Amino acid sequence: MITHEPNPKYIADPKRYENMPYQRCGKSGLSLPRLSLGLWQNFGAVDSLTNARAMIHRAFDLGITHFDLANNYGPHYGSAESTFGQVMADGLKHYRDEMIISSKAGYDMWPGPYGIGGSRKYLVASCDQSLKRCGVEYFDIFYSHCFDPDTPLEETMGALDYIVRSGRALYVGISSYDPEQTRRAAAILKDLGTPLLIHQPRYNLFDRWIEDGLTDVLDEEGVGSIVFSPLSQGMLTDKYLNGIPQDSRAARGEQIYLSENDISEATLDKIRALNEIAQNRGQSLAQMALAWVLNNKTVTSAIIGASRVAQIEDSVQALDNAKFDSEELTQIEQILRTQ
């Protein structure tokens, strides 16, 4: 259980910008770090505030200026934002103008018909609640977390436009919209005068759906992208090289997108083959998987998750070898095409 123990005033590493590369987000004036820290898991009320604080501080010291949140991150819902707000209050808020803080609304958050979806009522109310939990006056980016088929897209995008014009956010984004939904959203926002800044889709070596039309739309519209689950919920790490550990979340059925049934022997064979390429590159499989998603020219940043500081440090090391030669890319494609 998180307790709000006092913390000595945080002083950021003066060398924090020396090694982290940044990339312009679409056709905007905003640059993002190539890696961003996601607070989806391990930052909730059931987790250690001391560990959460250490991870956030270390990420910022390594040049990770972007922190990705959502209203329902926890557990329980809202608690990841509250944790982040406590870390901000403990000293990180001194660096607010150096940070990109984002949140989202779309999935279920509170009971009743006004606590889910893409309505103006829900998005604006949720944004206000998230701002209070995070202890900030505005978000740098506020997202529609998912497409709502029951709400006119004009209403959802109009709510995002209002959120910017009312000072609640500087930029707006969408998450997990398909190519046609993305094109329509971008057109509506353009007409409203609040351009679509960024799209947040799932993307990794095992889930490449964005390559089937979405990246083309993003390029055409000048929209950036920040991808989540670049390690395929832990499959693209050394965790599964020798099969499925009994203490893994996949074995316990705790992953949202991953279960034991998803990890077949054929998939394990691919993981091992990919690991061989990573070893030849002098990288862990996780580091190569991060480098691979960043190799897509449409990807502005990749969101990493972590349960301890060492995982953040390991992820950042992936940027030391982020390029692939044609032979490596060919080998990777051959492995992924294997049935």
Full set of structural domains in the chain with CATH: 30-200 (3.20.20.100)
CA 83/CA 130 separation, integer angstroms = 12
pTM, full prediction: 0.93
CA 303/CA 72 separation, integer angstroms = 17
Note the pLDDT tens digit of each residue in 181-196. 999 999 999 999 999 9
- At what angle are helices 120-134 and 153-165 packed, to 10 degrees? 40
Residue ranges in the chain modelled with pLDDT below 70: 1-8, 243-262, 339
The Cβ of residue 193 has, within 10 Å, a number of other Cβ atoms equal to: 9
CA 258/CA 251 separation, integer angstroms = 9
Mode of pairing for the β-strands spanning 31-33 and 35-38: unpaired
CB distance 300 to 25 below 8 Å: yes
**Residue 207 φ then ψ, to 5°:** -140, 95
Question: Residue 1's pLDDT is what?
Answer: 45
Place of tokens 């930029």: 171
